[in-house]
Amino acid sequence: MSIIETKKLKKIYDDSHVPVKAVDGIDITFEKGEFAAIVGPSGSGKTTFLNMLGGLDNPTEGEIIIDGINIWDMKSRKITDFRMNNIGFVFQAYNLIPVLTAKENVEFIMHLQGKSKAERHKRTRELLENVGLGDRMDSRPNKLSGGQQQRVAVARALASKPKFILADEPTANLDSKSTATLLDIMERLNEEENITFIFSTHDARVVKKARRVITLEDGVVISDEVK
């Protein structure tokens, strides 16, 4: 079942005298349950493409259809609400709120969604236990290692029960052991719960785990391999 489809998707930056085509006419479909990696050299358009899929950056041309809805037909506020309720994000820099505990960071989006306190607490405990941090729920980010912070970020991304997770270079700041742990967790969530993950990455370890590898160059898909 298709959950994401792009049609003639383009992003052109024209801040200078020479327009730059960051994404140049991508037509692609993602199915539910995929574990896909988007790869390519720096400047190939990976992050721009991922940001457009997530409604963080608007396309210059083309369509992004999620569950039959062209998200760029929505007004700004509706896109924000749609993103909150349908898309989970994991970033390279973790982006945890430093004054909040792990539990509070995971709960935050559910609070915005208007979930009850009991529901927030129950799901947060389940998620943090699922990523191996049931004993660190009351720790703030500065008391957690980089790998632990990224696992909190994964739990937070899952909190809203999104249709898919977008992960932009999620292992870039992690050592080998933390990377292996994080990838094992995400692979297990994908296989056991059919959660869709789409990565933007330079990391060969992520590419090895991925079951589909899409290569971009100069904003164009030059290969799309299913293992």
| pLDDT at res. 175 | 93
Label residue 43 exposed, middle or buried (CB < 10 Å: 0-12, 13-18, 19+).
Answer: middle
Helix (H, G, I), strand (E, B) or coil at 104: helix
In tens digits, the chain (227 residues) has pLDDT values of: 789 999 999 999 987 778 889 999 999 999 999 999 999 999 999 999 999 999 999 999 999 999 999 998 888 889 999 999 999 999 999 999 999 999 999 999 999 999 999 999 999 999 999 999 999 999 999 999 999 999 999 999 999 999 999 999 999 999 999 999 999 999 999 999 999 999 999 999 999 999 999 999 999 999 999 98
In angstroms, the first-to-last Cα distance of the chain is 19
| pLDDT at res. 219 | 96
What's CA 191's distance to the chain center, in Å?
17
Residues 6+ apart with CB under 8 A from 212: 34, 35, 36, 37, 224, 225, 226, 227
The superfamily CATH assigns to domain 2-226 is: P-loop containing nucleotide triphosphate hydrolases (3.40.50.300)
The Cβ of residue 184 has, within 10 Å, a number of other Cβ atoms equal to 12
**For residues 9 and 26, is the Cβ–Cβ distance under 8 A?**
yes
Rama region for 108: left / alpha / beta (φ>0; ψ in -120 to 50; rest): alpha
What is the Cα–Cα distance from 67 to 72, expressed in whole angstroms? 13
What is the Cα–Cα distance from 70 to 58, expressed in whole angstroms? 12
**For residues 42 and 56, is the Cβ–Cβ distance under 8 A?**
no
- In the chain, where the domains are located: 2-226
pTM of the model: 0.93
The candidate with the shortest Cα–Cα distance to 67, out of 86, 88, 48, is 86
Q: Biggest alpha carbon distance in the chain?
A: 55
E strands along 125-173, which residues?
A: 164-168
